[in-house]
Structure 1
Amino acid sequence: MPDKNAFRHQPLLKGATGALLLAGTALGAPAVLAEEIAIACGTGDAADYCPTAAREWAEQTGHSVKVVSTPNSATERLSLYQQLLGSESSDIDVMMVDVVWPGLLGNHLVDLNDYLPEETTDGFFPALIDNNTVDGRLVALPWFTDAGLLYYRKDLLEKHGHSVPETWQELTETAEAIQAAEREAGNDDFWGYSFQGRAYEGLTCNALEWVASHGGGTLVDAEGEVTIDNPRAAAALDLAASWIGNITPEGALNHTEEETRGIFQSGNALFLRNWPYVWSLANGEGSEVAGKVGMAPLPHGPEGESRATLGGWNFAVPRYSEHPELAAELAAFITSREQQKAHAIQMGMNPTIESLYRDEEVLAGNPSMSDLYETLVGGVPRPATVTGEAYARVSNAFFNRTHQVLSGDLDGASAVQQLGRELERLGRRGW
């Protein structure tokens, strides 16, 4: 058996010529193994289970695996991948890719159906397999998933006689009432609702939830038709704008996930929109709200239903890999039911295989996962696959127009009209 102590994470390095080089220590016994597979995991820190799963595959198959750490920033990681793929580099055999990248990178990725049994995709959430299928080609296997959730202070709702809101209007009214009461009691820093309002991808996720839950569509439909210019979408954005300075701090216009978590976890917010990772942190040691937190589906508009934007990560194989069959096998191993179960139990990450949300061992360590199931089933993917390489520009246009509405520079109707025109122009160039 290989010496596990010899394993260490290695970053991508630049050589004297500026060329990208891989520095890594192989897992396995390289002296006797025929092939070595390089996999780009996440950050390579203690929260990254990918190297553990890669090590197991190496031990079971007799091949060796080189684990390559990548930048923590998704933007920087994407830039690195685009550089490698653009140069048709064979340095990485398996890549960990964001849920919105398959359409963007799809032309550089193999069709995993060519290397894996048909039943490999059985049991995954269908929406995630659809997301990872580009022009009929399965270009990535889902690893773990996320969806937007509403966190709330159950102690304060009980104290002030309110229930968990089901609509955005109910959230607004409840937040106004309890915020006023808490401030009158002496907490001048208390806010009703905290969300990610900075002009970045996180705002795209929030705004998509507002619009879709009002029955306003998803920007671009499955056929590539632009759908955003409609009254329900405009109403959703106008309602969100009414929160700024009222139940949401003006600083939210520059808040990302961690700033919003900090406000909520310090006891200064009634409601929070964030991802599932917050649950264990908000209830963990040192949290001011531990034991006082509830979790629920996001509210909806008057003519819609709760919709949560899907997030998460996947594994893909570049077309330039010298060992595509082994690389596909490794990707399938890491995303298998057994590995996803271990990932859920040990790291609390959300599986992409539906049956694990009914698994007794998974639920014993993560009881909140049973509550996540319906949210994930009804999750709304961003229009990344249908818009392909144009998605970054689509998202950029959406979050910038939304930010203008939140800032008071545009009203909802003007924003969706302008956005509709922008997206139509992008669409005419070809998604």
Structure 2
Amino acid sequence: MKTMFARKRLRVVWVAALLGAGWALAAPGTAQAAGVTVSIACGSEGATNYELCVKASKQWEQKTGNHVRFITTPFSSSGRLALYEQWMAAHANIDVLMTDVFYPGILKKDLVNLTPYFKGEESKFFPAYLKIDTIDGKLLAVPWFAAVGVMYYRKDLLQKYGLKPPKTWAELTADAKLVQAKERAAGHPNFWGYVWQGKAYEGLTCDAVEWLASYGAGAIVAPDGKVTIDNPRAVAALTMARNWIGTISPRGVLSSEEPQTLQVFYAGNALFLRNWPYVWSVVQKPASPLKGKVGIIPIPKGPGADGRHAGAIGGWSLAVSKYGQHRKAAISLVKYLTSYEVERMRFLDGALMPTRLALYKDPKVLAKEPVMKIFYRAILSASPRPSAQTGAKYNRVSSIFYTDVHQMLLGEMTPQATVRTIAARLNALSDHGKHW
């Protein structure tokens, strides 16, 4: 009884909060005279994605006679998810949600199954994204824009020292040490070989998933739910990363997210940067000090026959909440925003990576950015986080993983102890992989 009362009270509190923020929560089925109003949470105000979401939604308004209400959300993925969970608990009248790749498994009971409405159209998207967005055979979100971990490098500096872009982590480490030493000797004391995201947050999960996958060490939890991180290759991958700290990577990376690492690279203080595709548009702007000096390669391979290029898969999709009051119009909006024409516009205007396969062969897209071929190959070989198999517990899985990996990078645990500890905690969480 107390739990039921608490849920009802939570719902009342959130509905009241939404009303207090100026929301109009109409009764189901009601509409304005010139069409219904569909609400969409599509990012942080001021961001390129948000501005292009508004642009395309306004076009949909003109085509349908409906209206769109835009809701801004926190920048961080974890902050946005926390807000969504509160909305879902309150059954708030929100129609369309921008979802990160690991949201569908967590929010599955709150999202509309879109399979009947797309009627095979989903086959035109990247299979990797469809796999992530499909839970228990239901398409719970539609891929909207793609992202994959890639490696940026200073093309001019590699050429200066007679080096080629590295294919393996061993080559990257050696190149970083050499160029770092020579640049510092030449009067650049703040220069580092490699910067990446090492703060204890979801970004570190992405980076570390790449290390594991590139070494053939699995993906923390296997598709069948079995916890697999406690293995020698995982130890080797984590040992490699720990050895970067203080040698080719500053200790500052252990408190850095994507913007901070980009800032170091953009200022000319690093040879290599691990980040997402959006960085390419930043460094190629006319005013960029790095314009024409940057190249892109896939995430390097680990050693041996099991080593492979394995950038973490990122990106965002659009989902329809079960609690929105205009489901038909919401689905129409999602179809429009994920259409070929809109995804093409979003790339040409804002360099947001398409999720439709055909756009990677579109002449105008390729003419603007020849590097699309690199991104395409990187997405095809990308490594997912274990969100599909861990479902609603993924947040906890990721938190355990990045917290312990971060402690290891700080020198507080050995790599061997780290994989054992993570495995023990995840097995306790899931009854040895039986109950996720």
- Secondary structure of 2:120's partner? helix
Q: For residue 293 of structure 2, what is the aligned residue in structure 1?
A: 292
Distance 1:21 1:139 in 2: 30
- Give the superposed CA RMSD: 1.8
Mapped contact 1:191–1:247 kept (Cα < 8 A) = yes
- The residue type equivalent to 2:121 in the other structure is T
- Paired residue for 1:353, among 339, 348, 356? 356
- The residue type equivalent to 2:364 in the other structure is E
Q: For residue 71 of structure 2, what is the aligned residue in structure 1?
A: 68
**Residue pairs, 1:231-310, within 5 angstroms:** 231-303=232-304, 304-310=307-313
Residue 187 of structure 2 is aligned to residue 182 of structure 1: no
Q: For residue 7 of structure 1, what is the aligned residue in structure 2?
A: none
Q: For residue 427 of structure 2, what is the aligned residue in structure 1?
A: 424
- The residue type equivalent to 2:329 in the other structure is L
- Paired residue for 2:95, among 64, 68, 93? 93
Mapped contact 1:22–1:68 kept (Cα < 8 A) = no
Distance 1:44 1:278 in 2: 19
**Residue pairs, 1:13-412, within 5 angstroms:** 18-19=17-18, 21=20, 23=22, 32-45=33-46, 47=48, 48=50, 49-89=52-92, 91-114=93-116, 116-303=117-304, 304-412=307-415
- The residue type equivalent to 2:350 in the other structure is M
Deviations 1:207-246 (A, max 9, x none): 0000100000001111111111100011000000000000
Distance 1:340 1:143 in 2: 7
Tell me whether 35-44 or 148-157 shows the greater mean CA deviation.
35-44
Distance 1:15 1:79, change over 3 A: closer
Mapped contact 1:148–1:274 kept (Cα < 8 A) = yes
Deviation of the 1:22 alpha carbon? 5.6
- The residue type equivalent to 1:334 in the other structure is L
- Secondary structure of 2:151's partner? strand
Distance 1:216 1:284, change over 3 A: same
- Secondary structure of 1:122's partner? helix
Count of residues in Structure 1 that have an aligned counterpart in Structure 2: 412
- The residue type equivalent to 2:273 in the other structure is L
- The residue type equivalent to 1:72 in the other structure is F
Distance 1:409 1:283, change over 3 A: same
Identical positions, percent: 43
- 5+ residue gaps, structure 2, are 1-12, 25-30
Deviation of the 1:31 alpha carbon? 5.7
- Secondary structure of 1:312's partner? strand
- Which consecutive segments of 4 or more residues in structure 1 shift more than 3 A? 14-25
Deviations 1:78-112 (A, max 9, x none): 122111101122x2111111111111111110101
Bigger helix fraction: 2
Normalised by the length of structure 2, the TM-score is: 0.91
- Secondary structure of 1:296's partner? strand
Normalised by the length of structure 1, the TM-score is: 0.92
Deviation of the 1:332 alpha carbon? 1.4
Mapped contact 1:24–1:68 kept (Cα < 8 A) = no
- Secondary structure of 1:313's partner? strand
Mapped contact 1:238–1:405 kept (Cα < 8 A) = no
Deviations 1:350-396 (A, max 9, x none): 00011111111112222221221100111111111211111111111
